[in-house]
């Protein structure tokens, strides 16, 4: 494929704290790779912007503005959750064809890779020469074909630091149980990252539940009671997508609703579990749900995450301009003593709509915690150590009586 023609970039799905670093990387690489007359456009509002021909010239902003944009959370172009069908993809490719667009880049997760694949298939069906490339993005870290996903490291840092801070708070007050709900509909990568908040055995979190393992009512209550009797306080982290042993979602009636991709919306899992603890164990329990704050915090961005978000996009643009299409750019961890990565490409067909679950090796045998092996995987991604705090230690540890206390 020649380097003639124009570029369109779209962002899809939920934003991350570093998604605009990928946008910047694409614009930089595309601008350098195209012939002087080539245009670099951004679609406003994701693939819907492509369909509506609502584009912005991305070569116009100054370098100063781009430096500010790449540090900003949220999708600078705007995003959407739309499941594109092949007929719509063909119509979108017709629009791109009329504007001599020869490179289409879609930044996003599983469903966005499906969109990129459909655009590639539509171009092939029309016999139109256009490179279609996916750039990975998701805090869920559940894309296959890549060691990890841009956005995940920063979200992992946020939720792990939040768990450290929450632990300090709950340790200090006689509110025995706190349940922290973490984003992650199908995969527990992000919830598992709260493990790195723990240094000592009694540090938060004491219990970690991920969607890969059914969470039964009986086992949950038994786990909470056991930890409470041992330490006198309990911090639980739980994925928003956990299900019970019958495959039913925990949470409220939100589970009956779906998003633009057709996925069920998770309910307030932590709130339901806290109510259960209150009712069945007689322990005061509170729920916390950072929600979108966990993926949008610019203050908690991992430097490594931002660097890789830009780097994988630069690779994707350069790979497309070498004549490759229908691929997702990927991040691969080198087998070196010091953490390092390299970039590669995997077929979109092997990525689209495929969920990479947390491997069983990272889930403890009692199924309510995460193994220490996961710490080795995730710590290099969060961009440095978490904030740790001093404590006044007493010779007598605060412990609970074995008798259940009500209304504390």
Nearest to 84 by CA among 73, 99, 95, 75: 95
Query: Residue 144, SS3?
Result: coil
Cα 385 from chain centroid (whole Å) = 20
- Cα–Cα distance measured from residue 381 to residue 197, given in angstroms and rounded to the nearest whole number: 14
Nearest to 382 by CA among 148, 130, 45: 148
- Cα–Cα distance measured from residue 86 to residue 126, given in angstroms and rounded to the nearest whole number: 12
Structure tokens of 90?
Answer: 């063909």
Query: Residue 363, SS3?
Result: strand
Pairing between β-strand 55-57 and β-strand 40-43 as defined by DSSP bridges:
antiparallel
- The question of whether 114 is a catalytic residue gets the answer no
- Cα–Cα distance measured from residue 164 to residue 236, given in angstroms and rounded to the nearest whole number: 12
Tell me which of 140, 142, 268, 369 is the catalytic residue: 140
Residues 6+ apart with CB under 8 A from 96: 8, 50, 104, 130
Burial class (CB in 10 A: 0-12, 13-18, 19+), 316: buried
DSSP 39-94: -EEEETTTHHHHHTT-EEETTSS-HHHHHHHTT--S-TT--------HHHHHHHHH
- Cα–Cα distance measured from residue 76 to residue 66, given in angstroms and rounded to the nearest whole number: 10
Distances (CA, A) of 305 to 64, 71, 195, 298: 21, 12, 19, 12
Distances (CA, A) of 144 to 15, 345, 346, 369: 19, 12, 9, 24
**Strand-pair partners of 178:** 235, 286
- Cα–Cα distance measured from residue 61 to residue 10, given in angstroms and rounded to the nearest whole number: 17
- Cα–Cα distance measured from residue 57 to residue 37, given in angstroms and rounded to the nearest whole number: 13
List, by residue number, the catalytic residues: 140
């Amino acid at each position: 494929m020649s380097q003639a023609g124009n570029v369109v970039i779209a962002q899809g799905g939920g934003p991350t704290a570093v998604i605009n670093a990928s946008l910047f990387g694409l614009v930089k690489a595309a601008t350098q790779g195209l012939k002087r007359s080539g245009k670099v456009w951004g679609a406003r509002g994701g693939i819907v912007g492509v369909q509506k021909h609502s584009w912005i010239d991305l070569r116009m902003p100054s370098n100063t503005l781009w430096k500010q944009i790449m540090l900003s959370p949220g999708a600078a172009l705007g995003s959407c959750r739309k499941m594109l069908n092949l007929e719509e993809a063909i119509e979108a490719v017709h629009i791109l064809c009329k504007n001599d667009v020869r490179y289409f880049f879609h930044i996003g997760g599983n469903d966005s890779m499906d969109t990129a694949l459909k655009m590639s298939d539509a171009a092939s069906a029309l016999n139109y020469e256009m490179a279609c490339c996916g750039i990975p993005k998701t805090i869920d870290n559940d894309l296959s074909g890549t060691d990890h996903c841009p956005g995940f490291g920063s979200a992992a840092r946020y939720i792990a630091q939040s768990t450290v801070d929450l632990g300090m708070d709950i340790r200090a007050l006689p509110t025995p149980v706190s349940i922290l709900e973490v984003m992650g509909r199908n995969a527990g990568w992000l919830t598992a990252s709260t493990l790195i908040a723990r240094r000592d055995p009694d540090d938060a979190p004491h219990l970690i539940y991920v969607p890969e393992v059914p969470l039964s009512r009986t086992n949950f209550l038994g786990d909470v009671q056991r930890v409470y009797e041992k330490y006198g306080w309990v911090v639980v982290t739980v994925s928003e997508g956990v299900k019970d042993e019958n495959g039913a979602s925990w949470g409220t009636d939100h589970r009956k609703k779906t998003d633009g991709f057709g996925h069920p919306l998770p309910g307030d899992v932590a709130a339901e579990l806290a109510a259960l603890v209150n009712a069945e164990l007689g322990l005061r329990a509170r729920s916390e749900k950072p929600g979108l704050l966990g993926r949008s915090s610019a203050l908690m961005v991992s430097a490594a995450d931002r660097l890789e978000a830009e780097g994988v996009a630069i690779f994707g643009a350069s790979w497309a301009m070498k004549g490759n299409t229908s691929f997702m750019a990927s991040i691969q961890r080198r087998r070196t003593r010091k953490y390092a990565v390299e970039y590669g490409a995997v077929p979109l067909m092997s990525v689209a709509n495929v969920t990479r679950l947390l491997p069983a090796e990272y889930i403890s045998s009692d199924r309510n915690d995460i193994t220490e092996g996961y710490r080795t995987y995730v710590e290099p991604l969060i961009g440095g150590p978490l904030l740790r705090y001093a404590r006044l230690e007493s010779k007598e540890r605060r412990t609970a009586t074995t008798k259940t206390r009500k209304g504390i």
